[in-house]
């Protein structure tokens, strides 16, 4: 199948961002126009290094990687090494990237590419919305120039993962999120183009990887041994320190995800990992994976306990027109099947 779906990914790489990059690179119909970087899971400079290294792992040195704004619009920088590890890739280690960083700013890249190909490109944001907010302030017509915007962010009918009601990507730069939701939604209402599609924790926590998925990935890649989380010297797989899979992409995925699994084991009571960002990328490429509902959404900026909350008017009490299509369900089983199949095929093609 030819490349038929132009996409820009804006990431804060991050374990699950890296898996979104691999999934998109492994999807034949996806044309990755560029990847842009924003601080979030780790600081912005580490994000761009991680992103370039992951794209090289995927064999996609042809894709431009650009850095955007290095700090939130108003608030101080926050990162989450306890979730993603000190370098952002869990226990995984990748060679330093060799392809240089683009000299374009991420916001300029959004605008330039949208103007060059009006109505063709879908933007997928997997991190804080700082770059998008900057782009919207520079070019208010950006929503009309893009085909669409899909984001991983928010908690709509679900507890938060950062504070009781807030999700990490929105929490990191709520001011940017408020600008992006408002500007894109108002443009959609006025001009009739698609509303933003938001995948919050309500659906992304359905995409839960557990060790048998890693085993299935290793088998799909033709990697040995099957149990890519375990060490050859016979350690308990749940206490392993390095994957011994023969395939480098499988080794990377296993080592990165093991950190995530250990985090959730400590804090959430299960040994597995929510892979939020790959589900958002998959839903952008195939909207049939999710069910959405059009609602009015705003972002709280002044709450003592709720700053960063995606306040959602499910009952229509505001009387505002909908500005966001919020995902309310996802076919997580089909997504995970595709993830194993597609990334497994990419891994097999890339070899050891």
Cα-based angle 346, 84, 123 (whole degrees, multiple of 5)? 60
Of 111, 119, 112, 160, the C-alpha closest to 140 is 111
d(CA 279, CA 152): 8
- The string of DSSP codes covering 124-170 is EE-S-SHHHHHHHHH-TTHHHHSSEEEEE---SSS--SSBTTB-HHH
Of 275, 233, 230, the C-alpha closest to 251 is 230
- Joined together, the tokens standing for residue 14 give 């991050």
First to last CA, the chain: 25
DSSP secondary-structure letter at 41? Answer: S
Told to judge if 276 belongs to the known catalytic residues of this protein, a careful annotator would answer yes
- Joined together, the tokens standing for residue 212 give 């048998």
Of 25, 5, 2, the C-alpha closest to 346 is 25
Pairing of strands 324-330, 197-199: parallel
Cα-based angle 11, 12, 16 (whole degrees, multiple of 5)? 85
Write down the catalytic residue from 84, 105, 213, 276. Answer: 276
Number of neighbours of residue 249 by Cβ within 10 angstroms = 27
Ramachandran bin of 39, using left for φ above 0, alpha for ψ from -120 to 50, beta for the remaining angles: beta
Write the CB contacts of 50 (distance below 8 Å, at least 6 apart in sequence): 13, 14, 18, 42, 87, 88, 89, 94
- Joined together, the tokens standing for residue 69 give 């704004």
Estimate to the nearest angstrom the gap between the alpha carbon of 342 and the chain centroid: 17
Q: Catalytic amino acids?
A: 276
């Amino acid at each position: 199948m030819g490349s038929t779906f132009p996409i820009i990914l804006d990431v804060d790489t991050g374990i699950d961002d890296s898996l979104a990059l691999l999934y998109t690179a492994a999807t034949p119909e996806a044309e990755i126009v560029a990847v842009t970087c924003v601080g979030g899971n780790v600081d912005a400079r580490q994000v761009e290094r991680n992103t370039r290294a992951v794209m090289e792992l995927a064999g996609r040195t042809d894709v431009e990687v650009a850095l955007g704004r290095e700090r939130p619009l108003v608030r101080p920088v926050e990162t989450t090494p306890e979730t993603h590890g000190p370098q952002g890739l869990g226990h995984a280690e990748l060679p330093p990237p060799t392809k240089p960083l683009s000299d374009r700013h991420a916001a300029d890249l959004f605008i330039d590419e949208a103007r060059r190909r009006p109505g063709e490109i879908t933007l997928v944001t997997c991190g804080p919305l700082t770059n998008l907010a900057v782009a919207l302030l520079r070019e208010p017509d950006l929503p009309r120039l893009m085909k669409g915007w899909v984001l991983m962010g928010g908690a709509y009918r679900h507890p938060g993962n950062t504070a009781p009601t807030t999700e990490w990507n929105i929490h990191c730069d709520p001011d940017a999120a408020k600008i992006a939701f408002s500007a894109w939604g108002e443009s959609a209402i006025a001009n009739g183009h698609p509303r933003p599609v938001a995948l919050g924790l309500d659906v992304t926590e359905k995409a839960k990887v557990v060790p048998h998925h890693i085993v299935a990935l290793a088998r799909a890649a033709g990697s040995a041994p099957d149990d890519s989380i375990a060490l050859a010297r016979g350690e308990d797989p749940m206490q392993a320190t390095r994957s011994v899979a023969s395939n480098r992409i499988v080794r990377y995925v296993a080592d990165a995800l093991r950190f995530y699994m250990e985090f959730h084991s400590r804090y959430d009571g299960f040994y597995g990992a929510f892979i939020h960002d790959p589900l958002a990328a998959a839903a952008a490429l195939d909207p049939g994976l999710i069910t959405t509902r059009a609602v009015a959404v705003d972002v709280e900026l002044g709450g003592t306990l709720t700053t960063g909350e995606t306040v959602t008017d499910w009952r229509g009490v505001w009387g505002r027109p909908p500005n966001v299509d919020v995902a309310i369900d996802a076919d997580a089983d089909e997504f995970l099947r595709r993830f194993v199949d597609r990334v497994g095929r990419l891994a097999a093609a890339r070899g050891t």
